[in-house]
Amino acid sequence: MTVLATIIVLGVLIFVHELGHFWAAKAVGIRVERFSIGLGPRVLGFTSGETEYVLSAIPLGGYVKMGGMDDAVMETIEGGETPRRQPSERDFDAKPIWARTLVISAGVIMNMIFAFAVYTSIAGFWGATEVNTTRVGEVREAYLPEGTESLAGLPVGSRLVEVGGVEVEHWGQVRDGLYEAEPGPLTVRAEQPSFTTTIEIPVELEARARLATAVSYWVPAELGLVDPSGAAYRAGLEEGDEIVAVDGVAVTTWYDIVREVRARPEVETPIDLDRGGGRMTRTVTPAAQEQTDPLTGETRTVGAIGVWVPQNDLVYERIGWAAAMRLGWNETVAVTSEILSFLRRLVTGNISPRAMGSIVTIGEASGQAAELGIQPFLRFMALFSINLAVLNLLPIPVLDGGHLVFLAIEAIRGAPVSIEQRLRWSNVGFFVIMGIMVWALGNDILRLFGL
């Protein structure tokens, strides 16, 4: 399953990316000589029209070879000598800057469109996903706006049954009942144990948004997916482990686990757990990360072990395609922001370089997602597509971002960067990329040996 899932993820996303370059090149009249999935020497392929379509030996990328575009650089990518030709008006370098910028950007654009299409399709075909519970997991008092403070008394574990006189059957109805209610008094009723209070819904949308996020649904004290590059994996924690205590502090919900782990950055922490009916203890050292409180803007150092929240039972609310597109757009933006935040924290040292993973990590994550079902697998592909787009925009020569830097320099000074300079910087970029890949692979090897 893992191998097949990895092949599908890499194959589809590389194809989508390169297809963007291919279509854009054709659209502006550039001759496309080769469309390759993979790098290095050709394994198999065929020729149609002026373009050769090939599968190459190294399955870690792909490229579209366009007439007149850095022939010397292509020799390195293809693993052989590229024959020299006479310049042509259909060469890449013969086109105006706007056309070349479009062609270079098209791969990234296609990856973002793919992610948006996947998220939209999931919402359109399955419906908007809602957590199938009304049980309360946490109430964050600091998020409660004025007039709603009495919700702090809502017992953790109780089941909400009415919000504003309307019966609720899943958490989406709880959230919408708090956020969309008319300003003024609103009654909230829960059972098991019994609890009733009347709060004052604020007029401001921002305050209502805080109210809707202040009350969270129940999540058991279990582990979801475990990041193969994280501290939890190295400590031997597994998906489905039921956590009993963190450093001797008893926990009953996922939120308890998060609170106790975040309080112990870079501190050896024993975690008591139940696995298949057997009790055991694992010692994990949470990595230190910088976290900004969205309410106060305050930044502090917290612990993180690389685990995801366990999957709750879900229900699907049918929605129209206009609403599905809004959800698809919002999820695409949210995932992009999270990836950019990760890169920022990696560059500033707030996340350890050990968090980087190679094809091994990608394969394990692909396999885990595939085992959860078609929808989680599609969501993983969308996430990885955005990740591929963002990484390709890094200003490193041989990546799309590096080519865009060359074009920006040309636009500013009115003359292109010389072929010799492009080749020199492309060689530097090639070694940078190889160094990153070796580092990431080294992290995976160390992880496999428990180091």
User: pLDDT tens digit string along 156-208?
Assistant: 999 999 999 899 999 999 999 999 889 999 999 999 999 999 999 999 988 99
pLDDT score for 27: 92
Torsion of CA 354, 358, 360, 361, to 10 degrees: 60
Closest CA to 246 of 284, 220, 275: 284
221 close to 273: Cβ distance less than 8 angstroms: no
Kindly report the pTM of this predicted structure. 0.75
β-bridge partners, 135 = 159
Q: Is the predicted pLDDT of residue 333 greater than 80, yes or no?
A: yes
Q: Specify the range with the lowest mean pLDDT, choosing from 71-75, 328-332, 386-390.
A: 71-75
pLDDT score for 43: 87
CATH match for 134-217 among 1.20.120, 2.30.42, 1.10.287, 2.60.120: 2.30.42
pLDDT score for 418: 78
Residue-wise pLDDT for 374-432, tens only, equals 888 899 899 999 999 998 898 888 788 988 998 999 889 888 887 778 788 877 877 88
Q: Is the predicted pLDDT of residue 234 greater than 70, yes or no?
A: yes
Query: Which H, E and C letters describe 162-194, residue by residue?
Result: EECCEECCCHHHHHHHHHCCCCEEEEEEEECCC
For the chain, first and last CA: distance in Å? 26
Residue intervals in the chain for CATH 2.30.42.10: 221-309
Q: Confidence band (pLDDT; 50, 70, 90) for 354?
A: low
CA separation for the pair 175, 184 (Å, rounded):
17
CA separation for the pair 168, 315 (Å, rounded):
13
Fold of 221-309: Pdz3 Domain (2.30.42)
Cα atoms in the 13 Å half-sphere on the side-chain side of 160: 35
Fill in the DSSP letter of residue 94: G
Mean pLDDT of 43-71: 83
Neighbour-count burial for 266-290, b at 16+ CB within 10 Å, e otherwise? eeebebbbeeeeeeeebebbbbbbb
pLDDT score for 301: 86
- Copy the structure tokens of residue 278: 């057997």
Q: Is the predicted pLDDT of residue 448 greater than 90, yes or no?
A: no
**Which residues in 296-427 belong to E strands, given as ranges?**
299-304, 314-317
pLDDT score for 355: 66
Residue type, 429: G
Mean pLDDT of 83-102: 79
Mean pLDDT of 201-229: 90
How many helices (H) and strands (E) the chain has is answered by 12, 16
Residue type, 267: V
Mean pLDDT of 145-156: 93
Higher pLDDT: 125 or 432? It is 125
Distances from the Cα of 112 to the Cα of 292, 332, 378, angstroms: 27, 8, 14
